[in-house]
Amino acid sequence: MNRKMFVSLHLIAMSTVLLNLLTGLRISSLDTPVLMYFDAILISGAVHSMHLISGYVFSVLVLYFIYYQFNNSQLSRNLLNKSQLKKIPHKQGYRALSYHKWVNRLGYIAGLLSVITGLFISFDLMVNTLQPLHFTSALLFLLYLVMHSWIYILQHGKGVLVRLLPSSYTHIAWLKLASIALIACLLYLFNIPVKHSLLVSAIPMDVLIEIDGHANEPQWLTTPSIAINTIGGANFVDGNTQVTIKALSNAQETFFLFTWKDPTQSIEHLPLLKTAQGWKVEEDGFYRFDEQSHYEDKFAVMLSNSCNSGADGTAHLGKTPIKGKPSNWHGKGYHASLDNTVRDLWHWKAVRTNDMYLADDNFIGAPASVQHGQRRYSAGYQADGKESGAYVMNWQWYKANVITPKRLPINYSLANKKVLPWFSSAPYKAELDTLAVGSYLPSVLYRSNRFEGDRADVRARGHWRNGVWTLELVRKKNTLSKHDISLKTGVCMWVSAFDRSQIAHTRHHKAIQLQYSL
Amino acid sequence: MKIRLLTSLLMLLLLIFYCRFSLPVHVTPVHARFTKMINTGEVISSWQGPWSCVVDSSLNVLWEVKTDNESIHDGYWTYSWFDEIQGKENFGDCYFEAQRCDTSDLIRHTNTQGLCNQHNWRLPTPDELQSLIKSPQRPGQAHINNDYFPFIHKGDYWTSANQQQLPQHFTQFNSGALAVNFHAGQQATLPYRNAAFVILVSSLTEANTTSQLSSRVINENTSQKEARK
């Protein structure tokens, strides 16, 4: 390989590998907490599209390298076989060449594995199996980089950099690099329109679909379903669960049926425990807003008129991913629409909204203004406005160690319930608190039966049976709310399941596009 | 070779130190105008709570903070406008009076209680109350700094301005008092008999000024620890 070609390919390889590792490890840090130690050097922000583009460039480079290996006789002649290596008189030189030959083989295997698994994952194919392999190949490649570049630098010092960097612009094979970039862009553009497709079957207006979480209407049996493998959620088996989706629609409303495996029905939400020191919130991560033990199961649906990667560009990963906005406490990131386009978000909660027969109608908008008095900042993730109705937390003010409950049940038999109704309880007074140490209180208070107004647009009811949640959900096609997306052909959808976790939800790469049969 | 090895290990150490110590630190923000105060008169940091009053360094006053604990400060109680001389007595709804409620009831109870060590609680002037108007920071919220003033509803709040001419559709009631509406952020004159919300205000005396209160702010480190407790 001539020097111009060697320098050019090395340059592009170094930059794409670096970009891939710094964005890919950031994405992996969502479900691999140890990577958070490297938060300062990992890239923050909308890293999904960056990872995808640099991944395609690296893939094309790898393909080109393989082509070059097989076709360039000059290169073949330059490669030393074992017998030739042994003829090298200097013992150290032989060992070094032999070492780098084996290290390069590790690099080729890791690189090829990451390219193949990455390409499959980018099309949402076999993600459950391939995502761990992709992560492993990235770590292997990291190991290769250390064994390859570090040892070269130890052996040859800064002379290595002189050999790797071009001495002038003319020493770069611009045409080759442009061709690689062009093919990568074409692959990326080819990847964008690939989506899952969900057929929304038509039903007449007089067909009743009861939102009860049982899905026993005959229409559900005959409508086609799609299965989406979602990954990376806390507490699920291997972090994965498959979500099956069906949809029906009449002239006014669209009905959705979601089912997903969850071996445990989690219907505890930050219960309050009475200790000898006072009342305490049972938690192991709520202080940093990433509870994964004492939380309810949840399910989220996001809708958008565009279908891009990284939850349509709304996922901004890292501790401080949005310039000028506060850092988050868990280091994982924020959802926000930096293009100021609203994405709809339905958030069903097994304790807080299920008995309201609602999903919390939220949205992802532009990053909200900072409220000084609020420790938690949630960027673009916000609730639609409501006229009345709410659940509130049963503490006067949250503290990590001891809290004072807001209300006590009038009848202590209600203390074991998951939700305490407002009008079955009284304001907390120390003299009324005769519950024994070790007693529990619900942390969720229903101020009234349900939300009213914009936030109550999505009716939903979930039912858990034999390790499977079944969730039925319905919303008007057009609510006329500026925080909602109208349901029609072409709208894209993403789904996430939460297993007793506050934010550690499963995810999938490719959007699900609605196709109305009407 | 040894120098290269040592240099690269040193660089690795620097990288580890950078990763370890360059993480952003959460600093409790300070609001330019408002500070939280607990009932005993001590000010707390913006991430602490619960709080009973808000120190307004711009107007040199304290504001009552509404609650949802069914006390006299509950944000759901409503009051007719009455100052012991003029207005309409007992035409609002609350739990803490044997009869129904008016503004003088809340003022009397709050001064007796000595909320935040103050005994000069009163209705705000229109300018004072209007100065709290701020565009909602989240959908559906009232026109106010919701993080310092929770439980403020999107409704009418009485001011001290009485003997105001009523709009034509209320002329049978002769005169009324001025209210500020936290839904629209505008003022309106209402008949005294209307049930409206109230947020009281207390002028800080020379013996108890905002600068003195500021000196009592629990320092940031202490408040961070307190927030965790």
**Pair A28, A121: CB distance under 8 Å:** no
Residues A32 and A118 in one domain: yes
| B192 in any annotated domain | yes
Helices within A157-231 (DSSP H only): 159-164, 174-191, 218-222
Contacts of B10 in chain A (CB under 8 A): none
| B14 in any annotated domain | no
Structure tokens belonging to residue B225: 């620890």
**Pair A108, A35: CB distance under 8 Å:** no
Q: What is the mean pLDDT of residues A46-62?
A: 94
Q: Would you state the pLDDT for residue A468?
A: 98
Among chain A residues, the shortest Cα distance to B1 is held by A154
State the smallest CA–CA distance between residue A236 and chain B in angstroms.
30
B30 lies within 8 A of chain A by CB: yes
Nearest to B147 among A371, A397, A428 (CB): A371
- The whole-angstrom separation of Cα A149 and Cα A159 is 12
Residues A461 and A363 in one domain: yes
DSSP 3-state of A259: strand
pLDDT at A449 over 90: no
- Return the percent helix, strand and coil in chain B, to nearest 5: 30, 20, 50
- The whole-angstrom separation of Cα A374 and Cα A397 is 12
A150 lies within 8 A of chain B by CB: yes
Q: Which of B9, B27, B137 to mutate to test the interface with A (most CBs of A within 10 A)?
A: B137
Residues A184 and A205 in one domain: no
A325-375 confidence digits (pLDDT tens): 999 999 999 999 999 899 999 999 999 999 999 999 999 999 999 999 999
Among chain A residues, the shortest Cα distance to B6 is held by A154
B134 lies within 8 A of chain A by CB: no
Range of the domain at A289: 266-294+391-447
**For chain B, how many residues are written?**
229
A373 and B147: CB-CB below 8 Å? yes
pLDDT at A69 over 90: no
Single-letter residue type at A477: K
Contacts of B139 in chain A (CB under 8 A): 382-385, 454, 483
- The whole-angstrom separation of Cα A146 and Cα A150 is 5
B5 lies within 8 A of chain A by CB: yes
A396 lies within 8 A of chain B by CB: yes
A40 and B48: CB-CB below 8 Å? no
Contacts of A455 in chain B (CB under 8 A): 140
State the smallest CA–CA distance between residue B83 and chain A in angstroms.
30
**Pair A321, A45: CB distance under 8 Å:** yes
Residues A129 and A277 in one domain: no
| B146 in any annotated domain | yes
Domain count, chain A: 3
Q: Which helix (H) or strand (E) covers residue A516, if one does?
A: strand A512-516
Q: How many CB pairs under 8 A join A and B?
A: 95
Contacts of B26 in chain A (CB under 8 A): 326-327, 329
Q: Among A191, A213, A246, which residue terminates a domain?
A: A191
A454 lies within 8 A of chain B by CB: yes
Residues A505 and A357 in one domain: yes
State the smallest CA–CA distance between residue A364 and chain B in angstroms.
12
Structure tokens belonging to residue A347: 């958030």
State the smallest CA–CA distance between residue B182 and chain A in angstroms.
14
- The whole-angstrom separation of Cα B5 and Cα A358 is 62
| B20 in any annotated domain | no
ipTM, two decimals, is: 0.86
Nearest to A399 among B140, B141, B227 (CB): B227
Name the DSSP class of B166: P
- The whole-angstrom separation of Cα A392 and Cα A353 is 12
- The whole-angstrom separation of Cα B132 and Cα A113 is 61
A397 and B30: CB-CB below 8 Å? no
DSSP 3-state of B162: coil
Residues A443 and A320 in one domain: no
Residues A306 and A182 in one domain: no
| B3 in any annotated domain | no
Ramachandran area for residue B17 (φ above 0: left; ψ -120 to 50: alpha; else beta): alpha
Q: Would you state the pLDDT for residue B224?
A: 44
| B4 in any annotated domain | no
Residues A280 and A420 in one domain: yes
Contacts of A448 in chain B (CB under 8 A): none
**Pair B177, B190: CB distance under 8 Å:** yes
Structure tokens belonging to residue A401: 């160690």
A432 lies within 8 A of chain B by CB: no
A386 and B68: CB-CB below 8 Å? no
**Pair A506, A298: CB distance under 8 Å:** no
- The whole-angstrom separation of Cα A309 and Cα A192 is 8
**Pair A266, A295: CB distance under 8 Å:** yes
B164-165 and A492-498 beta bridge pairing: unpaired
- Torsion from C-alpha of A128, A133, A134, A138, nearest 10 degrees: 150
B140 and A154: CB-CB below 8 Å? no
pLDDT at A33 over 80: yes
B23 and A40: CB-CB below 8 Å? yes
* Per-residue pLDDT of chain B in tens (229 residues, 90 and over written 9): 788 888 888 888 888 888 888 777 788 999 999 999 999 999 999 999 999 999 999 999 999 999 999 999 999 999 999 999 999 999 999 988 988 999 999 999 999 999 999 999 999 999 999 999 999 989 999 999 999 999 999 999 999 999 999 888 888 888 999 999 999 999 999 999 999 999 999 999 765 665 556 554 444 444 444 444 4
- The whole-angstrom separation of Cα A225 and Cα A140 is 38
A125-159 confidence digits (pLDDT tens): 999 999 999 999 999 999 999 999 888 888 888 77
| B24 in any annotated domain | no
- If you write DSSP's letter for every residue of A485-501 in order, what string do you get? ----TT-EEEEEEESS-
CATH code, domain with A353: 2.60.40.1190
| B170 in any annotated domain | yes
Residues A443 and A356 in one domain: no
Single-letter residue type at A308: N
- The whole-angstrom separation of Cα A488 and Cα A477 is 7
Q: Which helix (H) or strand (E) covers residue A49, if one does?
A: helix A47-71
Nearest to A402 among B8, B47, B229 (CB): B229
pLDDT at A76 over 70: no
A159 lies within 8 A of chain B by CB: no
Residues A110 and A73 in one domain: yes
Residues A247 and A380 in one domain: yes
A241-249 and A196-202 beta bridge pairing: parallel
- If you write DSSP's letter for every residue of A261-273 in order, what string do you get? E-SS-----S-EE
Domain count, chain B: 1
Among chain A residues, the shortest Cα distance to B67 is held by A396
Do you find a cis peptide bond into A89, omega within 30 degrees of 0? no
**Pair A381, A473: CB distance under 8 Å:** no
Q: Among A128, A162, A191, which residue terminates a domain?
A: A191
Structure tokens belonging to residue A315: 């996922």
Structure tokens belonging to residue B117: 């060590």
Range of the domain at B66: 34-228
A455 lies within 8 A of chain B by CB: yes
A461-510 confidence digits (pLDDT tens): 999 999 999 999 999 999 999 999 999 999 999 999 999 999 999 999 99
Residues A165 and A281 in one domain: no
- The whole-angstrom distance between residue A216's C-alpha and the CA centroid of its chain comes to 32
